[in-house]
Amino acid sequence: MLLALLLGASAAPHQAAPAPTAVAPAPPPVVRPELVHAYPHERTAFTEGLLIADSVLYESTGREGESVIRQVDLPTGRTVRQAVVPDGLFGEGIVAWGRELRSVTWHGGRGFRWSRPALKRTGEWRYQGEGWAMTDDGHHIILSDGTPRLRFLDPETMRVARTLDVSVNGRPLKYLNELEYIDGRIWANVWMTPYIVQIDPATGQVSGVIDLSALVARAGVTDRDSVANGIAFDRAKHRIFVTGKNWPELYEIRLPGGTAR
């Protein structure tokens, strides 16, 4: 049912569909990933951001008074070092740029700069609205805020350079959460669903859907807030990792055919 809602594939009961004026676009293909390997993941980590930079895994977590940014040892899931998000704020996504990590918070429009890998806070920046997640395309930092609109930020000034409205089958798609840029597509967890969407960064159209239902079931979480959230791409080794909030495991996955797209 959630997938039908996401793709807009089903009409309301007893409601006649309008006469088509043009050929409707085909819904994006849905694939189920193959599990390559499962790694331990800290059960207390309410995952908001996940990334690999220079072969090092970083994770940011949420909830006021509990939000941290940490470097993680992949094989064991143990924290190597961590920094606390200031002032009891609700930490959200992170992105690596140069020798820094930059982070956002849910409310208040406060973002922070952290040295990498030491995780020392080195500065602050501001933005309008909510902060949910970030990634980069090599030119801009891309920010999600829970709406269908992604913001592309100038990494030097952190000001908005352009925006991108995301749609699936012609309908705006909101609740875009954790982000990753993989092989020319923006990947985004859709909050409160087991799905990752692949977004064309030129048009904003969803070109594919990845169904993580089997991994959600394997994680065995019962808290409704413990949703799939967290995508990391190891660009050096072309490996993809996913996890969720308070999940006991982090998963390396591969799409059918061994490709990322």
Cα torsion angle, 91, 95, 97, 101, sign: positive
* 181 contacts: CB under 8 Å, gap ≥ 6: 135, 136, 137, 138, 142, 187, 201, 233
Please, what is the average pLDDT of the chain?
A: 91
What tens digit of pLDDT does each residue of 74-85 get? 999 999 999 999
Bridge partners, residue 81, by sequence: 71
Q: How far apart are CA 139 and CA 105, in angstroms?
A: 22
Q: How far apart are CA 172 and CA 66, in angstroms?
A: 33
What tens digit of pLDDT does each residue of 93-128 get? 999 999 999 999 999 999 999 999 999 999 999 999
Q: How far apart are CA 206 and CA 102, in angstroms?
A: 26
pTM of the model: 0.90
pLDDT (0 to 100) of residue 21: 55
Mean pLDDT throughout 162-184? 96
Of the listed ranges 7-16, 28-37, 180-189, 214-223, the one predicted with least confidence: 7-16
At 141, list the tokens. 């930092």
Tell me: pLDDT of 17 over 50: no
Virtual torsion, Cα 134, 135, 136, 137, nearest 10 deg: -130
What tens digit of pLDDT does each residue of 29-75 get? 999 999 999 999 999 999 999 999 999 999 999 999 999 999 999 99
Cα 184 from chain centroid? 15
At 60, list the tokens. 């940011």
Mean pLDDT throughout 225-232? 96
Mean pLDDT throughout 135-156? 97
Closest alpha carbon to 150 in 163, 131, 167, 136: 163
pLDDT (0 to 100) of residue 87: 84
